[in-house]
Amino acid sequence: MSDTASTHHVLGKEVAMPVQVRTATAFMAMYSVPTGPAQALIADSDLEILQYRPGRGLCTLVFVDYIDGDLGPYNEFGVCFLVRDHNRRGGTVFQDLRELGSGGAGALIHRLPVDGDFTLAAGRGIWGFPKILADFDTDHRSATRRASVSEGGQLIAELIVAPGISVPGSGATASVAAYSSLDAVTRRTSWDMNPTGMRSRIGGAQLRLGTHPIAGELRSLGLPKRALVSSSIGNLAMTFGNAVGVPAR
């Protein structure tokens, strides 16, 4: 498929670009992780972990329930790392923080289990997102959010997020560069988000890891441990543009 196509063909259906997600709900926890082990996990992407303080990067675990969108309803679990813009190599923590504050940093989607065949094919074929089929048990409606994801009978992770404090200013659109790495190709996708009903707090998350290899990767980062911050989003509208290949160094 062309990176610049306005329409993609997925499992006999046409997917027009950009892809719209009109209704979704999500909750997440962000963790401080050591830069070295995190960089080792994403080495194939040719991207660099952004450091928010010396030797430390940021990893976010997120569960999303897609309710109404162009790819249909499905559940998703993401393991994401904040990374430097692909055009920048090396630098100081000050430069990283400045890039983060200016919106120049990106999010590498490192792992992405889902529970739908169509979104699996679309995610891998259009954007190079590393989607795999998995099983989900979720509660996105209660004040305390909970979900678990397993693949092949092996638990990957269970995450529980307690209620937070309402975040002012929700409803504003934020744009993020979403990076993916699949089959030795790194891609960059424009990703616009419009969250409403967002609540957040320091800590507030309980994480349990299973025996799946993805759980082993998270353990190599020192998880489970106390989250820096946890959040829930009542509705998350999103738009995904076409993916563009990132030239190798």
Domain with 83, as residue range(s), is 17-244
- The pLDDT value recorded for residue 3 is 52
Of 46, 18, 36, give the one whose Cα is nearest residue 242.
18
- Over pLDDT 90: what percentage of the chain? 86
The answer to whether 115 touches 75, Cβ cutoff 8 Å, is: yes
| Residue 134 forms part of a structural domain | yes
Number of structural domains the chain divides into = 1
Indicate the residue type of 22.
Answer: R
| Residue 10 forms part of a structural domain | no
Q: Take residue 101 and report the two structure tokens written for it.
A: 């504050």
d(CA 89, CA 53): 17
| Residue 8 forms part of a structural domain | no
| Residue 1 forms part of a structural domain | no
Q: What is the pLDDT of residues 14-29, one digit of tens each?
A: 999 999 999 999 999 9
Using alpha carbons only, give the angle 248, 5, 26 rounded to the nearest 5 degrees.
80
Question: Residue 216 maps to which CATH number?
Answer: 2.40.400.10
- The pLDDT value recorded for residue 24 is 98
CB neighbour list of residue 214: distance below 8 Å, 6 or more residues apart = 79, 111, 113, 151, 156, 157
Of 105, 131, 249, give the one whose Cα is nearest residue 188.
105
- The pLDDT value recorded for residue 103 is 81
The answer to whether 125 touches 8, Cβ cutoff 8 Å, is: yes
CA 137 to chain centre: 19
- The pLDDT value recorded for residue 2 is 42
| Residue 5 forms part of a structural domain | no
| Residue 9 forms part of a structural domain | no
Task: Give the residue ranges of the chain where pLDDT is below 50.
Answer: 1-2
